[in-house]
Amino acid sequence: MAILKTKRSKWIVGSVVLVAMVVGTLFGLPSGGKSHTLPLTMASMNAAPYFAPVTPSGVVPRDVLDALLIPQNSSRTGWRNYDQGNGQYDRQINILVHANLNSTKTFFSSALKNQAWKIINTHTITNGYEILALHTGTDGYFWEVGVTMTSGGSTPGLGTQSASVKANDPGSSQVALRLLQYESA
């Protein structure tokens, strides 16, 4: 090609290719996703206080915790520390939401989208529903949240280390929010 014979033209073409690659990468980042303003089925609150028993200050970037909402009427039923301080952050809180599974599912789907989480997977499970979403933190890591929702009663498989509230209301939902430091962005 005649256009690539000079050093300057090669530099210009190389720069254009580099800019195109950077722009393409930026469009693919989870937090670069479009934020939404979907109506929430319940009043919301920040999940940070519920993660406090298993999250030392500064471990999870504030922007990630601020982007994780739960229904305001929730009661924490327990928590789990999967990483035990070894390796990347992997912790879970369990909450009881005083609303049926459909309302709870709609709440979390809308709240995650509204807070610029990129939903990467959803699927129905026995007696419930799961959502997997990604968010880019200011610490340079992707953060992943898994939201497992089941209908009413006690729910095996959502293990707790502290359980001060038991779910006995068939009109309620058990929710496990598992937050993981995924990989560097």
Element (H, E) at 136: strand 128-136
Q: Which CATH number characterizes residue 167's domain?
A: 3.40.1000
Tell me what the pLDDT averaged over the chain comes to: 81
Report d(CA 64, CA 93) in Å as an integer: 15
Q: Which sign, positive or negative, has the C-alpha torsion 116, 121, 143, 29?
A: negative
Is residue 57 domain-resident? yes
Instruction: Output the pTM of the full model.
Output: 0.74
Distance CA 45, CA 61 (A): 17
pLDDT for 32 equals: 44
Confirm whether 75 is domain-assigned: yes
In a domain, 118, yes or no: yes
When mean pLDDT is compared across 8-17, 44-53, 115-124, 138-147, the lowest value belongs to 8-17
Lowest mean pLDDT among 11-15, 55-59, 163-167, 180-184: 163-167
**178 has which bridge partners?**
92, 146
CB–CB of 65/51 below 8 Å? yes
Mean pLDDT value across residues 55-78: 93
Mean pLDDT of all residues in 167-180 = 85
For residue 171, is it within any domain? yes
Evaluate whether residue 16 is within a structural domain. no
